[in-house]
């Protein structure tokens, strides 16, 4: 992978992690277009690295919320921060179970499966279209909501299903306030990404990842690009959700999904 390719893929990750268009799906499409489909497990390594960059972007944007949550956890009485932190923990369970139990099966889907990406983008578009038509409310995230949202996040492990799109759409369809839905969606993924990075780091130390074909410079460039773009995209997405403009991303997912299927049929 060249330095320029890494930067391009990092920018794609930074935008698509927060915008509801599937970061993993766009990473696979980007690799296909750039001719980087033969990276194997190193491809997954690059994906994990740029996901870590966008997780750091989330920490920067929501640093006050994160500090408030940890401050609430230091108190013995149940506060709003405690309830929110508990909801985040509950939401992590489905994705953690799926990720740990089916990691090997999912890895093969992250290696140029454009047909799957295109098909799943249609599902993402449908979710966004339905959520855009939902009524606005001022409800907060409850424990029962967190489990359902967590299941949608687990399904979004598949490339083409947008994690933010699935979790925000599910939250809105459950009647949760749009801004609170976006905030919860972005915060709930941080522990999972960090956990995944720790697991992959352990695998690399044990030598289970294989021969590296991606240079440190390329990984660093991709990380920086994803981090910087991610900060702007995260803030932009919160504004978009509040204004109920998700239907435009639904149309985008339908269009890219169609182009992906066309690409498969013509190559």
In b/e form, how buried is each residue of 43-59, taking b as 16+ CB within 10 angstroms?
A: bbbbbbbbbbbbbbbbe
* Residue found under tokens 């509950």: 90
Among 134-138, 200-204, 256-260, the range scoring the smallest mean pLDDT is 200-204
pLDDT digits (tens, 9 = 90+) for 250-267: 999 999 889 888 888 887
Half-sphere exposure of 161 (CA within 13 A, CB side): 17
Average pLDDT, the chain: 80
- pLDDT of the residue at 192: 77
Sign of the CA dihedral running 202, 204, 210, 213? positive
| pLDDT tops 90 at residue 46 | no
pTM of the model: 0.79
| pLDDT tops 90 at residue 170 | yes
Give burial (CB, 10 Å; 0-12/13-18/19+) of 132. Answer: middle
| pLDDT tops 70 at residue 208 | no
Percent helix, strand and coil across the chain, each to the nearest 5: 80, 0, 20
DSSP single-letter state for residue 21: S
| pLDDT tops 50 at residue 164 | yes
pLDDT digits (tens, 9 = 90+) for 20-41: 887 667 666 766 776 655 544 4
**In the chain, what are the domain boundaries?**
3-266
The alpha-carbon radius of gyration of the chain (Å, integer) is: 18
């Amino acid at each position: 992978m060249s330095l320029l390719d890494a930067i391009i893929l990092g920018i794609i990750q930074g935008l698509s992690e927060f915008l509801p268009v599937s970061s993993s799906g766009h990473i696979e499409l980007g690799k296909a277009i750039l001719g980087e489909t033969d990276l194997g497990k190193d491809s997954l390594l690059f994906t994990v690295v740029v996901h870590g960059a966008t997780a750091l972007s989330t920490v920067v944007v929501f640093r006050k919320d994160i500090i408030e949550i940890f401050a609430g956890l230091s108190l013995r009485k149940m506060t709003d921060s405690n309830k929110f932190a508990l909801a985040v923990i509950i939401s992590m369970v489905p994705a953690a179970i799926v990720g740990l139990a089916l990691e090997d099966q999912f890895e093969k889907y992250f290696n140029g499966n454009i047909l799957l990406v295109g098909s799943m983008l249609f599902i993402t578009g449908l979710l966004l279209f339905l959520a855009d038509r939902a009524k606005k409310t001022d409800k907060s995230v409850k424990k029962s909501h967190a489990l359902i949202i967590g299941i949608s996040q687990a399904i979004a492990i598949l490339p083409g299903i947008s994690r933010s799109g699935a979790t925000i759409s599910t939250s809105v369809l459950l009647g949760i306030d749009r801004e609170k839905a976006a905030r919860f969606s972005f915060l709930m993924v941080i522990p999972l990404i960090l956990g995944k990075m720790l697991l992959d780091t352990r695998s690399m130390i044990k030598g289970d990842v294989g021969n590296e074909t991606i240079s440190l410079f390329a990984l660093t460039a991709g990380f920086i690009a994803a981090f910087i773009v991610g900060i702007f995209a995260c803030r932009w997405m919160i504004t978009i959700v509040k204004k109920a403009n998700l239907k435009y991303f639904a149309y985008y997912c339908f269009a890219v999904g169609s182009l992906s299927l066309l690409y498969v049929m013509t190559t």
